[in-house]
Amino acid sequence: MYEDAFPRELREYYRRLFGREAEEIMASLRTPVEKYYIRVNTLKTSRDKLMRILRREGLKPKRSPYLKEGIYFEREGPNFPDDYEPGLKRVVANKFASESVYQGAMLYAPGVLKADRSIKPGEEVEIRDPRGLLVGIGIARMGGRGMITATRGVAVEVTIPKFKLPSLSELESFKEGLFYAQSLPSMVVTHVLEPSEEELIIDMAAAPGGKTSHIAQLMQNRGEIIAIDKSKNRLKKMEEELKRLGVKNMKLIRMDARKLPELGLQADKILLDVPCTALGIRPKLWESRTPKDIGATARYQRAFIWAAIKSLRRDGVLVYSTCTLSYEENEANVKYMLEKGLKPEEQSIFVGSHGIGMDDVQRFYPNRQLTQGFFIAKLRKV
Ligand code: SAM
């Protein structure tokens, strides 16, 4: 079933890289993460307090065994088998909306691509993605015609999604900025960086601010972090997030990070959470990228690496991370850094597996750590 979700060249690439494990990896990528993590915003609250608040809000939070600011919720589902045919009238949602419904969200009218015209409000319907995969079952809140033309509002109230993750953004505790939804490996990245107040820290690809706000948290809102991103929209979202979380020690700069050396800075530490092919993100109803994208993206990333090395003081530390599974964007780019004179550094927290032919880096596999696919390397400029 998951086979159709990956282009043939990518399936072959995975089989060459991961051998027999490739099948398990692809099957896991198809489903949402088993443990859905949030990060306690320790600038505003403690884990124990937030756990109590979340329980009052009707949720079942659990403590992360790895990180003291980590809380997770267990995924529910699958709620029906892959070959289930409910035989109801159909609503087809776009890919983005389908992925949301697949994890338990409502279906909003802007996400509807097609619907049976005879659907009446109150009728039970099935929701499918554009390729025909059943992502959930629900009760129509609009007629079939209305849900295609409406530009807002709930089109289908989803009663049986394929999987269910908690929906958190309407909670009071979210609005008060007591937590940030963030995957476990993303949180590990900031601990690997080990930021401290006296240091000049640059985050070269920062928006929407997940890792930067975590750095601020570990620095207790002291010291200065320079956060760069080239996307105006993502920086706007980041500003809102930083306000919600109460982060203050941040300077945001909109620029192409490949031109960082032009600022003439010599940072103590640089976080390069580089743009990547995002092959590790779960769930994927289907993947459209191919090995060609991997090669092009890995070359693009080298320009960021070069800029990072130029802007790092001698003995400074570079943490490089991606949310992708390819070799070229991960270990091969670390090899490039080693050729440029960086040295691998031990990572203070190691939750993942070792890299492919490389021990000092950590890889997170969707089928082993049950997280997003992820990669973290730490290097020193000597
Ligand atoms: N670190 C972020 C977090 O934890 O929330 C996620 C960063 S995301 C993986 C990569 C970011 O790189 C995107 O926000 C994108 O806008 C940015 N980006 C892409 N090309 C860029 C460039 N040339 N210069 C600066 N930022 C860039």
Q: Based on the domain organization, do 321 and 351 belong to the same domain?
A: yes
Please give the distance, rounded to the nearest whole angstrom, from the Cα atom of residue 79 to the centre of ligand 1: 35
280 and 150 in a common domain: no
**Shared-domain flag, residues 121 and 252:** no
Same domain, yes or no: 190 and 250? yes
- Do both 258 and 331 map to the same domain? yes
Work out which ligand 1 atom sits closest to the CA atom of 271: 1
Query: Ligand 1: distance of its center to the CA of 32 in Å?
Result: 23
Task: Give the pLDDT score at 292.
Answer: 97
For residue 340, count other CB atoms closer than 10 A to its CB. 15
Do both 145 and 192 map to the same domain? Answer: no
Tell whether 130 is covered by a domain.
yes
The count of structural domains within the chain is: 2
* 157 and 187 both lie in a single domain: no
Q: Alpha-carbon distance 17 to 5, whole Å? A: 18
Choose among 169, 256, 241, 231: nearest CA to 211. 241
- CB of 364 closer than 8 Å to CB of 353: yes
In a domain, 175, yes or no: no
Q: Where are the alpha helices (DSSP H) in the chain?
A: 8-18, 21-29, 47-56, 95-102, 144-149, 172-175, 184-193, 210-218, 232-245, 291-310, 331-339
Bridging pattern class, strands 89-93 and 124-128: parallel
Name beta bridge partners: 271: 203, 319
Asked if 224 and 189 sit in the same domain, the reply is yes
Q: By alpha-carbon position, which residue is closest to atom 11 of ligand 1?
A: 205
Say if 329 falls within a structural domain: yes
CA of 230 to the centre of ligand 1 (A): 7
- The two beta strands, 374-381 and 342-344, are antiparallel
Residues found in the chain: 382
Atom 14 in ligand 1: residue holding the nearest Cα: 207
Cα(17)–Cα(246) distance, integer angstroms: 43
Instruction: Give residue 338's pLDDT.
Output: 98
**What is the CA(331)–ligand 1 centre distance, in A?**
20
- Establish if 54 belongs to a structural domain: no
Q: Identify the segments of the chain with pLDDT beneath 50.
A: none
The pLDDT assigned to 224 comes to: 86
Q: Do residue 153 and residue 208 come from a single domain?
A: no
Same domain flag for 240 and 137: no
Q: Does 47 fall in a domain? A: no
Same domain, 275 and 377: yes
Task: Please give the Cα distance from 317 to 144 (Å, whole number).
Answer: 56
Say how many Å lie between the CA of residue 358 and the centre of ligand 1. 26
Q: Is residue 290 part of a domain?
A: yes
Known catalytic membership, residue 323: yes
Locate the ligand 1 atom nearest the alpha carbon of residue 303 and give its number.
23
Give the global pTM: 0.96
Query: What domain range includes position 340?
Result: 183-381
In a domain, 221, yes or no: yes
Long-range contacts of 95-99 (CB under 8 A, 24+ apart): 95/129, 95/130, 95/285, 95/286, 98/127, 98/128, 98/129, 98/130, 98/133, 98/135, 98/285, 99/129, 99/135, 99/283, 99/285
d(CA 189, CA 376): 7
- Tokens 């892959």, residue located: 82
Q: What is the structure's pLDDT at 300?
A: 98
CATH code of 106's domain = 2.30.130.10
List C-alpha distances in Å: 81 to 55, 136, 291: 30, 11, 31
Q: Would you state the pLDDT for residue 187?
A: 98
| Separation between Cα atoms, residue 88 and residue 52, nearest integer Å | 41
Q: Name all residues whose Cβ lies below 6 A of ligand 1.
A: 186, 205-211, 228-231, 234, 256-258, 273, 275
> Among the options 219, 247, 323, 337, which is catalytic?
323
126 lies in some domain = yes
The closest-lying atom of ligand 1 relative to the alpha carbon of residue 214 is: 4
Residues 136 and 276 in one domain: no
Residue among 230, 232, 279, 376 to mutate when testing ligand 1 (max atoms within 8 A of CB): 230
CATH number at residue 212: 3.40.50.150
